[in-house]
Amino acid sequence: MSRANSVFEQQLGLRLQVSRANSVFEQQLGLRLQVSTLVLNEGEGGDYRSTGPNFAPATPGERSCTGYQAQGVTGHGANVTVSGIDVALGMLARWASTNHPDDDLWHLLTDCFPSPGTVGIASKGGLCQAPGQRTSFVATTIDPDPSDNLTLVQRLDACDRQGYEGVVEGTRLCARALYSGAACGADSHPGGGNTTPGKLELCSANAGVSSNGPSLWHTFAHEIAHGLGGGHTFGDGGLLDYTGERALYDAADICAYLEAGGQGCLEEVAEAVTAATCGNGAHESPEACDDGGLAPGDGCDASCAVEPSLQP
């Protein structure tokens, strides 16, 4: 496969993920996602200011990205250990806050966090939160493993699965990450990260992370919904539960967040009502998807319906 074809297929794949997520957000919220900046990294490294944090698995199919491993965090309230995907989010948030403070929402799509385990994470209410704020951790009373049978990595994942963001050192209870109100420190690391020896500074900002997998669009939409102010709807189902449902459960928090000012960086678009044109790359009602072409076998067929064999 040529490099040009590889880049084109990556762009096409991304457009399909956004299109499928928009099938939820447009119908339920009247909100459309649009990609304004796309950074495609081939391999690990690159110019950090341009690419953002960029690591690749040392062993494909495993959680082996050297820059995204569980680490201890001090000086952020409670001393905690955070998982690799929390590290990735903190790095991306700090990079976005420093280098792109005027952008609405950044999202990292990566191969670093395959299942099993947490495959996505985002700063809740991160939309328009730029520049970002330093993350502060507080201890909870939640013990994900009273019998103490789990390894630290398994305990971190158990806390993540319950909506928490770390494990408190000593007690091994789950920790909650909050916006501290203090500005993120400048992210000036030239080599591809924001770590200093013995310390990692984490930020909460307009950022999210989703790892590649068969349900990537669903993970992506789930994390974008967090960025729009949505909390988990455990027990009620919907997109923000872990039941695999596609529609948002109406918990009223996203609309409340947007109405309270979270929409400050969004644009209102007045559009004439026109017939949908399948294949033009724009997701138009009543299309389920539109990947910019009419060829079959790529997830979106010639009538702009999602192909059953590729549905999660």
Angle, helices 3-29 vs 216-227, to 10°: value is: 50
Is the pLDDT at 3 greater than 60? The verdict is no
Query: What was the pLDDT predicted at 223?
Result: 95
Choose among 200, 194, 115, 94: nearest CA to 157: 115
Q: How far apart are CA 302 and CA 282, in angstroms?
A: 14
**Tens of pLDDT, residues 76-130:** 889 999 999 999 998 888 888 888 777 788 999 999 999 988 999 998 888 877 6
3-state secondary structure at position 178: strand
Torsion angles phi and psi, residue 163, rounded to 5? 90, 15
Is the pLDDT at 228 greater than 80? The verdict is yes
In the chain, alpha helices (H) = 3-29, 48-51, 84-99, 152-161, 216-227, 253-257
Neighbours of 208 (CB within 10 A): 28
Whole-number average pLDDT of the chain: 82
Pairing relation of β-strands 207-211 and 106-110?
parallel
83 burial type by CB count under 10 A (0-12 exposed, 13-18 middle, 19+ buried): buried
Q: What is the distance of C-alpha 135 from the center of its chain? A: 17
Q: What is the distance of C-alpha 10 from the center of its chain? A: 18
Walk across the sheet containing 106-110 and list its strands.
106-110, 207-211, 120-122
Q: Decide which of 75 and 232 is more confident.
A: 232
Q: What is the mean pLDDT of residues 246-266?
A: 83
Host H or E run for residue 122 = strand 120-122
Q: How far apart are CA 87 and CA 82, in angstroms?
A: 7
116's tokens: 């099993």
Neighbours of 229 (CB within 10 A): 20
Q: Which residues contact 266 (CB under 8 A, 6 or more apart)?
A: 31, 104, 127, 128, 258
- Whether residue 98 contacts residue 189, with contact meaning beta carbons closer than 8 Å, is answered with no
Q: What is the mean pLDDT of residues 21-34?
A: 90
**Tens of pLDDT, residues 131-176:** 788 888 999 999 999 999 999 989 998 998 888 889 999 899 999 9
Neighbours of 147 (CB within 10 A): 6
Largest CA distance in the chain: 61
- Whether residue 144 contacts residue 251, with contact meaning beta carbons closer than 8 Å, is answered with no
Query: What was the pLDDT predicted at 269?
Result: 60
Is the pLDDT at 7 greater than 60? The verdict is yes
Choose among 68, 22, 3, 112: nearest CA to 306: 22
**Tens of pLDDT, residues 168-218:** 998 999 999 888 778 877 655 544 444 443 456 788 888 999 999 989 999
In DSSP terms, 209 is beta-bridged to 108, 121
